[in-house]
Structure 1
Amino acid sequence: MSGSDTVVVTGFGPFRQFLVNPSWTAAQGLKLVGLGEGTDVYIKEVPVSYVKTQQIIAEIWQTLHPKFAVHLGVARGSSVIILEQTGKNSGYRDKDVCGFCPESHCCVEGGPDKLDSVVNMRAVAKELQQAGTDVVYSRDAGRYLCDFAYYCSLYYGQRRAAFIHVPSSGSLTSGDRLVPLLQSLILAMLDQLEDSSETT
């Protein structure tokens, strides 16, 4: 299969109280259920490390050339799914699991201040809210590794990326409930991507 048929899904590695990160469990679940015929799902676990995250994401775009990348992270204290529209380049001051923080406090020196996904996350959130899903729209991914990974992917992938925060509490933490919802969300994003590529 060519990269144009590949959707990359990443989840994060162990972090603080999450010995197994729910975002990685969700990525594995998505690999099992797939994203329909003709789409190859490639999953990758990303360590909660700035250096490794940037290396892995740049490498994904440079070697696999996927159609789209979806990055999953866990939102502590949240019981809903959060769709992130924007990745921000600067303001990274919190240390990662290696005790490291970028000296420049930014993802890509000289990169734009912020980048938005080509997908309109508000529209995707609305579509699923109407179907009764606990999903909300956000423009602030939190200036930590989630935001960092998102920005790097938007930067290297010409904005063909999404970031989804998965809940850490409540009924949606069960994979049986979460994975089908993530699958619906990603399929809605891919539909929008197809539509936009036909019109441009």
Structure 2
Amino acid sequence: MEQQATNIDYYHADNKGLCPDNCYLCGYIYYSSLLIDRTRTAFIHVPMLNKPFSAAQMAAGIRIAMVEMLKLVPGSEPTPVVLVTGFGPFGNHNVNASWEAVQELEKLVTGDEFVLVTREIPVEYDTVKTLVPTLWKEYQPKLVVHIGVSGIAKELTIEQQAHNTGYDKADIRGVFPKNQCCQFGSDECIASWLGMETVCSAVNNSKCGVDAVISLDPGRYLCDYIYYTSLHINPFCTAFIHVPPLNQPYTARQLAVAIRIAILAMLRLVPD
């Protein structure tokens, strides 16, 4: 990350062979924006692709930097951070519709409404147990929305609650949670404080073409498990959405549009 830019000594030509004011582009654009407002301007240099980082790795790092920068902007209301997760492959879902929808959501969110942080989560109990609390601590999100795929869902299915026990199905590594339990000694059910009826209505009234329904049973597998894990951390700003398999009947893009509408409705319900 660059701390400053200078006004002189730019002698490289641009891709048209031009040197406006004897200047090259990285420092030039940074200096130009700093002249307008140095309190809200930053510049990040990235290495060449795969030397050593992929585009996805660099994007993840840039998102982290943006979250931290927003905390430092003086005199402005911080843009809310929304953490959205999807799951990786499992069972017959070699391409998990939840992660496909989350990746489409990344293309829809500009950052004006909220800062989107996304993660693909492996279908593993131990990973959920260790990674999810870390993500909460790292990003301090205003809202956490977990997305999962349901083979029986026909609509966007918004879950109201999650269960603590009854996890008798092995994850992709053949592992069960200890005592088939998520949080030992905790309540059997935790419900989100977000009014999912309101969220459901927002999607259905939006004319986005995707129907939404409410459910009380996330299924006692990783979807239920990750939801309970986050609800146990903070039930006031946690949600879970099940999506149907891709093209049954919705595309990943259609699902992403509906998820964005749901997120905006949820943000209005999160207590200050």
| TM-score, length basis structure 1 | 0.90
Rounded to whole Å, the distance in 2 between the matches of 1:38 and 1:129 is 21
167, 171, 179: which one aligns with 2:249: 171
AA partner of residue 171 (structure 1): P
AA partner of residue 47 (structure 1): P
Tell me the secondary structure at the aligned position of residue 242 of structure 2: strand
Deviation at 1:38, TM superposition (A): 5.0
Rounded to whole Å, the distance in 1 between the matches of 2:216 and 2:176 is 23
Task: Map 1:45-124 to 2 at 5 A.
Answer: 45-124=120-199
AA partner of residue 13 (structure 1): G
Is 1:183 matched up with 2:260? yes
User: Residues 97-145 of structure 1, C-alpha deviation per residue, up to 9 Å, x if partnerless?
Assistant: 0101112111111122211112111221133323454111011111110
Tell me the secondary structure at the aligned position of residue 171 of structure 1: coil
Q: Sequence identity of aligned pairs in percent?
A: 35
Deviation at 1:36, TM superposition (A): 4.9
Rounded to whole Å, the distance in 2 between the matches of 1:35 and 1:122 is 27
- After superposing the two structures, state which structure 1 stretch, 20-29 or 33-42, moved more: 33-42
Which has more radius of gyration?
2
Rounded to whole Å, the distance in 2 between the matches of 1:4 and 1:111 is 33
132, 157, 175: which one aligns with 2:234: 157
- After superposing the two structures, state which structure 1 stretch, 121-130 or 97-106, moved more: 121-130
In structure 2, relative to structure 1, the CA distance for the partners of 1:187 and 1:122 (3 Å cut) is: same
Tell me the secondary structure at the aligned position of residue 265 of structure 2: helix
User: Residues 168-196 of structure 1, C-alpha deviation per residue, up to 9 Å, x if partnerless?
Assistant: 15221x12311111111111111122xx4
8 Å Cα contact 1:141-1:147 kept in structure 2? yes
Tell me the secondary structure at the aligned position of residue 149 of structure 2: strand
8 Å Cα contact 2:160-2:196 kept in structure 1? yes
Question: Which 4+ stretches in 1 moved above 6 angstroms?
Answer: none
Tell me the secondary structure at the aligned position of residue 93 of structure 2: coil
AA partner of residue 180 (structure 1): V
Tell me the secondary structure at the aligned position of residue 128 of structure 2: helix
Which ranges of structure 1 fall in alignment gaps of 5 or more residues?
A: none
The aligned counterpart of 2:116 is 41
Rounded to whole Å, the distance in 1 between the matches of 2:150 and 2:79 is 30
Which ranges of structure 2 fall in alignment gaps of 5 or more residues?
A: 1-69, 72-77
The aligned counterpart of 2:221 is 144
AA partner of residue 154 (structure 2): S
Tell me the secondary structure at the aligned position of residue 123 of structure 1: helix
In structure 2, relative to structure 1, the CA distance for the partners of 1:32 and 1:55 (3 Å cut) is: same
Rounded to whole Å, the distance in 2 between the matches of 1:21 and 1:9 is 15
| TM-score, length basis structure 2 | 0.67
Answer 1 or 2: which has greater strand percent.
Answer: 1
Aligned length: 194
The aligned counterpart of 2:205 is 130
